[in-house]
Structure 1
Amino acid sequence: MTCCNADKVLRHIENAAKARYLPIIGPVRGRILADVVRGLKPRRILEVGSLVGYSSILMGRELEGDSEIITIEIDERRAEEARENIRRAKMKPGVRVLTGNALTIIRELDGWFDMIFLDAAKHQYLDYLDLVEEKLVRGGVVAADNAGFRSHSMRVYLDYVRNSGRYESRFIPGNGDGIEVSVKL
């Protein structure tokens, strides 16, 4: 994949997101996410909440070799748009977009992950993590977008990753919100 194709598609998605009021991660928190991927060098990423593929492309640009991203989107139209954006960005074949409820799909996934990116229904973050936690390798990372939200469910998720003793966790602010990055101990 060439960077220029991906960069062009990312800019297109950013412009479309403004016009269509799509809640993509955006360039500021996107840089945080890309930095996490670049530092971790994951082989297998699970993304919960594809929307239109913006963060899949951001993460995919940082991957090497035979790395894989499995991304889940509940909305069929958005999933198809994500597939098309990923294709246009000339991403390697290791990006798979699955359509359906993540709480069901995660149960069906085999194998391990060394990174999880949560960017879907905030009130279900802890439910997603509960389902995939045993598949996350030691030293693996959970990155949770919108961790600056003050909702009760986000506080419950943050309390778990910060106080369960299973993770070393920190909040990285960006653009009025931020990402909670939690390393599995």
Structure 2
Amino acid sequence: MPKILHSPQQKYLNQFRTQNDELITQMEKYAEENSIPILDWQSSDFLEQLVLISKPKKVLEIGTAIGYSTIRIARLLNKNSEIDTIEKSKDNIKLALSNIKKSKLADRINLLAGDAFDVMPKLEKKYDMIFLDADKEDYENLFYHSVKLLRKGGIVVIDNLLWHGYAASSKVPPKYKVSTEHIKKFNEIFMGHRKFKSTIMPIGDGLGIGIKIK
């Protein structure tokens, strides 16, 4: 797959990476060996910076996978803060619960099992931060649900908005055409939404940041 950055640029940035958390390293290795998509390290670092800056008390994650970004967010939350994370895959839920137990952060993490379209309408909280990293075909509808759950002044973070670079390319492999069209349509909606001040940053696979202003 094409990368957003060229190899020399990526190699240069990689030298600054520091990761001393054994569990995080194990999860990265497991994800790579089993072809499980998780947030790349640069996007993860930036997401952590947003958590440190905004100090959210209530976070919602849509798409737990194995709990990688869940744990990276949870370990930076202040006392009495929490993250709700939604996952529909039974296999992923089992892995995520195991990793959450190992992280010793279970008191900050609520794993909500089920389809996000079933879970989100039942949530009654207002969130300070929402992180969306789910099926690309569902981004548009999941975003509309997120708008209702995010407080004014809250932050929404959305991964994969450049989608391996295909969102900005005229040549898209057949297996990515449908998902790319969904991403391109969603980007128009996201960037033009009147309730948000939004930007798409060329970090990782394209990270969308939106602040709810209305």
Q: TM-score, normalised by structure 1?
A: 0.92
The residue correspondences of 1:52-67 to structure 2 (distance < 5 A) are 52-67=66-81
State the shift of 1:21 in Å. 1.0
Determine which of 11, 18, 28 is the counterpart of 2:32. Answer: 18
1:154 aligns with 2:183: yes
Q: Distance in 2 between matches of 1:92 and 1:167?
A: 32
State the shift of 1:67 in Å. 0.8
Quote the residue 1:179 is aligned against: 207
State the shift of 1:102 in Å. 0.4
Which secondary structure does the structure 1 equivalent of 2:134 belong to?
coil
Q: Distance in 2 between matches of 1:106 and 1:41?
A: 23
Q: What is the one-letter code of the residue matched to 1:157?
A: F
How big is the alpha-carbon RMSD for the aligned residues of Structure 1 and Structure 2?
A: 1.3
Q: Percent identity?
A: 29
- How big is each residue's C-alpha offset from its partner over 1:32-78, in whole Å with a ceiling of 9 and x where there is no partner? 11111111111111100000000001111211011110101110121
Kindly indicate whether the alpha-carbon contact (under 8 Å) linking 1:79 and 1:98 is maintained by their aligned counterparts in 2: no
Q: Deviation above 3 Å: which 4+ runs of structure 1?
A: none
Q: TM-score, normalised by structure 2?
A: 0.80
State the shift of 1:179 in Å. 0.8
Gaps of 5+ in 2: 1-19, 168-179
State the shift of 1:163 in Å. 1.0
1:169 aligns with 2:188: no
Residue-pair matches, total:
179
Quote the residue 2:144 is aligned against: 130
State the shift of 1:92 in Å. 4.7
Quote the residue 1:3 is aligned against: none
State the shift of 1:19 in Å. 0.8
Q: Distance in 1 between matches of 2:190 and 2:40?
A: 24
Q: Whose strand fraction is larger, Structure 1's or Structure 2's? A: 1
If you compute each CA radius of gyration, which structure gives the higher value, 1 or 2? Answer: 2
Gaps of 5+ in 1: 1-5
Which secondary structure does the structure 2 equivalent of 1:21 belong to?
coil
